[in-house]
Amino acid sequence: MASRREEILDIARRQFAANGYQAASMRDLAEASGLMAGSLYSHFKSKTEMITDIVVRFYDTLLPRQAAVLEDPTENGAAKVARMIQEVFTVCAAHRLELTILHYDWTALSSIEEVMSRSSRTLDLWTIALRAGVADGSIDPEVDPVPMVRIITSSIHSLLDTKRYGHLPLAPEQESQLLAQLRRALLEGIVASPARPADTPGGARPARPT
């Protein structure tokens, strides 16, 4: 059975995702939790403590999954990127409320050191995987890992956005299909092609393998 603190955190998570972190007051959160404001302060000192707890837990679930991908010595960089897309999408799909909070309240969250350090780490892990692929030749050498990280992470956020695309919801049973489409769309554009034959007309690249 969840503790009272966990119940309050779950209510806060839903309130922050639905109405925004900035808009929610401690009084609002207390009322939603069935508490007097003073009683809420006995569980949490501030909204900052609550949002930090919520978001840090999300990152502490995500980061080990990313790190485990990089530790596999049997995969090249492109394979690591493919698996990281799958791992990150899976974690984010299971934590859509946290993803919504991070996306729409980043201005406030970026001032919290525990959040910012973990956010930087997740981007670093993406970059390491992409650079490994460029270095081992499995990813097109023209790919710049830094902007590519933005493209990949923004694509995941967009597919799982519950606010902007709330009028066009994607059912949970579609997640495997969405993941397959996402991997195909992202990877077919960055995986290295076979070496171009010298006599290729017009210098065009051969078709990418399917």
Query: Does the residue 186 lie in any domain?
Result: yes
Tell me the pLDDT of the chain averaged across its residues.
87
Residue with the bigger pLDDT between 177 and 204: it is 177
Query: Does the residue 26 lie in any domain?
Result: no
Number of domains the chain contains: 1
Query: Does the residue 37 lie in any domain?
Result: no
Query: Does the residue 7 lie in any domain?
Result: no
Evaluate whether 37 touches 27 at the Cβ level (below 8 Å).
yes
pLDDT at 165 over 90: no
CA 171, CA 156: separation in Å to the nearest integer? 15
Strand partners, 191: 139
Query: Does the residue 94 lie in any domain?
Result: yes
pLDDT confidence of residue 168: 65
Percent of the chain residues topping a pLDDT of 90 = 62
pLDDT at 159 over 80: yes
Query: Does the residue 163 lie in any domain?
Result: yes
Evaluate whether 159 touches 107 at the Cβ level (below 8 Å).
no
Split at pLDDT 50, 70, 90, the class of 190 is: confident
pLDDT at 38 over 90: no
10 Cβ contact partners less than 8 Å away, ≥ 6 residues apart:
2
Q: What is the CA radius of gyration of the chain?
A: 21
Strand partners, 139: 191
pLDDT at 149 over 50: yes
Residue with tokens 């501030």: 46
pLDDT confidence of residue 117: 97
Query: Does the residue 64 lie in any domain?
Result: yes
Domain encompassing residue 157: 48-192
Write down the pTM of the prediction. Answer: 0.84
Query: Does the residue 62 lie in any domain?
Result: yes
Residue with tokens 């401690």: 26
CATH code of 128's domain = 1.10.357.10
